[in-house]
Amino acid sequence: MSASPHVAVRNLCVTVRTPEGEPLRIVDGVSFDIQRGDVLALIGESGSGKTTIALALMGYARSGAQISGEIRVGDATFEGSGGATLAAQRGNRITYVAQSAAAAFNPSRRVIEQVIEPALIHGTATAAEARAHAVSLFEALALPNPKTIGSRYPHELSGGQLQRLMAAMALITRPDLVIFDEPTTALDVTTQVEVLQAFRKVVREQGATGVYVSHDLAVVAQMADQILVLNRGTVREQNSVQAVLETPVDDYTRTLLAAARPVIKAATPQVAVGEPLLSITGVHAGYGPIDRNGRAAHPVLTDVTMNIGRGAAVGVIGESGSGKSTVARVVAGLLAPTAGTVSLDGEPLAPALDGRTREQLRRIQIVFQNADIALNPAHSVGEILGRVLRFYHGTSGDQARQGVAELLDLIRLPAGIADRRCDELSGGQKQRVNLARALAAKPDVILCDEVTSALDTVVREAILELLAELRRDLGVAYLFISHDIATVKALCDEIVVLYKGTRVESGLRDTYAAPPFHPYTDLLISSVPELRTDWLTGVGLQSSAPFANLHESPDLCRFVPRCPVAIAGKCDVAPPPLRLMTAGNSVLCHRAEAELIRMHP
């Protein structure tokens, strides 16, 4: 006979009111069980009800919403609306790990004070006991210097460290249920691996019961025991992780699986060989005051060079802090380089935005990651797009309205969207409008800065398909920035790898199908989660680097302190040469091609 579930949910419903006052169920009759020590994943597209269900388990719902059904956590049962009773368990028996730890921590208080605070508020431990437990959690979560890291402030820590510290805060009261709400979505792939390994280890060791919210099936495969597939607030499928991945029974689940690793179906256009459309030559850039030698106080880019042909798509990948977005800012004129040039059709562009002509501005457009910030919430979609048409093309009145309708048709949105404001749109719709705003200028080059990283897998695949179709139909070129090499390989002809502002590898997409790779590129490729449950077990944290304590120098390879294959007497004393591989990719490394190939069994 199976053990009684540690968490049991029966007929959970969340009901809101429409603008007309009619009841609308956004979560409808959801039921599930979780055994002690197991993790249940909630997956589905944006708007499927994942986060709504997770928050309902804590008795939280948006203003005016009503929670009904039965929720049992441990030996406590909550029936009916039960919100107030459930809310009393937050931070104690039921805890929460949010997507953005940086936003969750108070920047003015030391980390240890915030991690132990729930235990002190709920009286589950004395201050001394809570501190000792916190240190043990820091060790379990593989945080550096576990005995002293708590004395630091949030801004002194990386995103991955903050995410693990938030998990420690959630576990400090030894809760019955931990809710993980997209906790790795905002992290780059290498950091995500470290965080996932730490999460899984500590959940197993602590015997925690968890609900893991995600739209990424590959991530879920590493963390969960069971999967609940949701669509529009209803359950479409529920089974073990292995069964869902290998033998899905619902068509919607199959759609999610197909979108997990995008493969663009739109034909890739033939790129003309000739003079590049956009040239970035020897660019150095950074932030802060510039010294007498022309160096920024906080340098980011060092001697970056790349070319983009007319109608081509060049991807730029790397971890957070590698300089990807800074490249886009320099090209767009939002940040003046301290050295080097950006040229369009062979004509050097002014370093700063205010020195460029309106025609030059029109030809290079940028699409930012967060459409919520990029689009004016006070304006309708028609006003946002019409303003661009008026500024660059002088169109107004009926001509502008016709132009807006054509743009919406181009991005596969209905004409009626023009009268709606952005807060009335889904995440995917907002990103399409964000793209339409750039297309309204009729540019030659679009700079796409992490435009799909915040989208669920199905919406991401649709946006990538749209970008490929627009490139084919309009001949627009892309500089596509991402930390996800799988996404870049799906869209781009050429890929440039940046590490700490230096180009360490570049080559055509097909050269990334097999080694040789730069050791850093190898790390990026091996860090992309795969759709199998044992993947994380087989991916050990990166081998120890022989020069881990070497002080980073601009004259040496920037990757030396992390490189597991650095060569004594070369990598630690001399700058690496740029080597041209047989396949055509160039690699900045002391290792010869044959050595780089031998590193892969």
SS (H, E, C) 150-212: HHCCHHHCCHHHHHHHHHHHHHCCCCCEEEEECCCCCCCHHHHHHHHHHHHHHHHHHCCCEEE
Query: How high is the pLDDT of residue 269?
Result: 56
Check residue 103 and report its DSSP letter.
H
**Helix-then-strand count for the chain, H and E:** 21, 22
d(CA 558, CA 588): 10
Query: Cα 445–450–454 angle (5° rounding)?
Result: 140
β-strand 234-240 against 364-367: which pairing, if any?
Answer: unpaired
Backbone φ and ψ for 477, nearest 5 degrees, come out as -100, 150
* DSSP labels, 237-272: EEEEHHHHHHS--SHHHHHHHHHSS----SPPPPPP
Query: How high is the pLDDT of residue 476?
Result: 95
Check residue 111 and report its DSSP letter.
H
Q: Where are the domains of the chain?
A: 7-259, 278-452+466-484
* Token reading at 563: 């490189």
* Token reading at 285: 């850039």
CATH class of 278-452+466-484: alpha beta
Fold: same for 7-259 and 278-452+466-484: yes
Query: How high is the pLDDT of residue 427?
Result: 78
**Per-residue model confidence as pLDDT tens digits over 300-351:** 999 999 999 999 999 999 988 899 999 999 999 999 999 999 999 999 999 9
In 3D, which of 6, 480, 413, 60 has the Cα closest to residue 211? Answer: 6
In 3D, which of 171, 173, 224, 167 has the Cα closest to residue 195? Answer: 167
* 140 CB neighbour count, 10 Å cutoff: 20
CATH class of 7-259: alpha beta
* Token reading at 54: 């997770």
In 3D, which of 303, 308, 301, 339 has the Cα closest to residue 322? Answer: 301
Query: How high is the pLDDT of residue 83?
Result: 54
Residues 216, 218, 219, 222, CA torsion sign: positive
Question: What stretch of H or E contains 325?
Answer: helix 324-332
In 3D, which of 37, 4, 32, 12 has the Cα closest to residue 210? Answer: 37
Query: How high is the pLDDT of residue 324?
Result: 93
Report which residue type is found at 289.
P
Query: How high is the pLDDT of residue 468?
Result: 92
Give the CA radius of gyration of the chain: 25
In 3D, which of 270, 219, 271 has the Cα closest to residue 245? Answer: 219
* DSSP labels, 388-412: HHHHHH---HHHHHHHHHHHHHHTT
Positions in the chain whose pLDDT score sits under 70 = 1-2, 80-84, 87, 261-274, 540-545, 601
With beta carbons less than 8 A apart as the criterion, state whether 494 and 480 touch. no
With beta carbons less than 8 A apart as the criterion, state whether 485 and 317 touch. yes
127-140 and 159-171 helices cross at what angle (nearest 10)?
A: 130
d(CA 134, CA 129): 9
The three-state secondary structure class of 363 is helix
d(CA 456, CA 46): 6
Backbone φ and ψ for 174, nearest 5 degrees, come out as 50, 65
Spell out where 232-386 has E strands: 234-240, 278-290, 296-308, 313-317, 339-344, 347-348, 364-367
The three-state secondary structure class of 70 is strand
d(CA 235, CA 230): 5
Could you identify the residue written with the tokens 């730890």?
101
Could you identify the residue written with the tokens 């989208």?
455
d(CA 522, CA 587): 12
Report which residue type is found at 340.
G
**β-strand partners of 479:** 314, 447
In 3D, which of 218, 318, 310 has the Cα closest to residue 258? Answer: 218
With beta carbons less than 8 A apart as the criterion, state whether 115 and 198 touch. no
Query: How high is the pLDDT of residue 81?
Result: 57
With beta carbons less than 8 A apart as the criterion, state whether 37 and 207 touch. yes
Kindly list the distances between the CA atom of residue 522 and the CA atoms of 505, 512, 514, 565, 600, in Å, as whole numbers in the listed order: 11, 9, 10, 12, 9
d(CA 462, CA 446): 18
